[in-house]
Amino acid sequence: MKNSVRLRLSVLMLLEYFIWGAWYVTMGTYLMSSLEVNATQVGAAYANLSIAAIISPFFVGMVADRFFSAQKVLGTLHLMGAATLYYISTVEHFQQFWWLILLYTLLYMPTMSLVNSISFSQMEDPDKEFPRIRVLGTVGWIAAGLLIGFMELESSHMTFRIAAYCSVVLGILSFFLPSTPPSGKSASISTILGLDALVLFKKRSFVVFFVSSILVCIPLAFYYNFANPFLNELGMENAAAKMTMGQVSELLFMLLMPLAFRRLGIKKMMLIGIFAWVVRYLLFAYGDIGPGIWMLYFGIILHGVCYDFFFVSGQIYIDKKCKPSFRNSAQGLITFATYGVGMFIGSFVSGAVTDNFLINTDGIMSYQWESIWLVPAIIALVVGLLFLLFFKEKLVGPLVLDNKVQHILPKADSRDQKELIGGLTDNSDLKIKS
């Protein structure tokens, strides 16, 4: 890849996630303080992102990929998004805000797939090149949190305006990205929804994994929707900036995952991820700004374990579980289930639970955060126990081809192993190391 192309793609990824991070983390704080809405309405606002996540694959797969160049669609969506974000910063009523944030998320979510498509189209070796570009997205998210936190804008409409200005810049930049012409082919609805992978439901362990992935999104929604309002209400300074420690830990634990896979295996990895949610919310429940502030920091830092060890491990599990013919469909199915269905349910559940613990004390309305955080802790505990009891699939070792580790296979009988190996090699000397 030419250095000029790498630079443009790096800036593209940086701004793409900076824009999202600028308004998303602090939206709950803004709504509760500036528009004076309740927690249920906050959950409803966050649910719009899940609605957009469900709809956007149809737009990308059946419209954008078929008729238009990706960079032109990306630029148009970001310019329209910039106008929407700026208008959002001017409204004073939640009903207007809700419809506008729905419109914006419908504009923004397709851009994530388009950014990846543009990047991959310029790479000869995506396995090596893409992570180096994608890491700039996490850097952009961290930069947004640091900026918003240190400028003390968490309850200000300026978060949306900053995102709008950056969206204008990215919209213009997009038209100067390398050309990515349309494929001329439209993906089928079954492929977009991952219906080609329904054969996986014949395996009990996959059913357990699928249901657990949806349910664990409920605790995840509590964190995304209410961690920032919680920390601000406790009096933590620069809460948005300090929450970026979660993204830093996400990067670090991502680097540790290959070693963890070799030592622990897929089941233990995902169990650690689930039970980390329990620990995180217990720390939030009993932490404070005084002597217990370490509990709050540790709860934030656990984000890397919570996210990487379950969600990223789950994506790897899907990749290893599936035949190449429906691997993409399976990834689409689990994305639809988690960021679509799971987060949609979690947004409303988190809002309803938080509102349930709003009490009047001597004329002052306040949230009982200890009780609130215990709810997702219990949910995560139940999910973890169910996963422990019913997910029976284990990894028995690396697949060795020509003395090189290539894949990790689930424990299976010889027939299943042949199906999993099928298409990878014709080498009759294939062997499994215990």
pLDDT in tens, 370-387: 999 999 999 999 999 999
For the entire predicted model, the pTM comes to 0.79
Q: Rounded distance, CA 354 to CA 321, Å? A: 38
For 366: left if phi > 0, alpha if psi spans -120 to 50, otherwise beta; the answer is beta
Residues contacting residue 127 through CB under 8 Å, at least 6 positions apart: none
- What integer pLDDT is reported at residue 3 of this predicted model? 84
Query: Per-residue pLDDT tens for 143-154?
Result: 999 999 889 899
Give yes or no for residue 28 having a pLDDT over 60: yes
* Structural tokens at position 4: 């000029």
* Structural tokens at position 79: 């310019």
* Structural tokens at position 274: 């689930």
State the amino acid at position 145 in one-letter form: G
Residues contacting residue 392 through CB under 8 Å, at least 6 positions apart: 204, 205
Question: What is the rounded radius of gyration, in angstroms, for the C-alpha atoms of the chain?
Answer: 22
Give yes or no for residue 285 having a pLDDT over 90: yes
Tokens 């148009």 locate to 76
Q: Rounded distance, CA 8 to CA 115, Å? A: 11
Nearest to 336 by CA among 52, 45, 16: 52
| Mean of pLDDT values over 359-363 | 77
- What integer pLDDT is reported at residue 133 of this predicted model? 84
Contact 307, 263 (CB under 8 A): no
Residues contacting residue 65 through CB under 8 Å, at least 6 positions apart: 117, 182, 183, 185, 186, 187
Give yes or no for residue 424 having a pLDDT over 90: no
Q: Rounded distance, CA 48 to CA 103, Å? A: 9
- What integer pLDDT is reported at residue 63 of this predicted model? 66
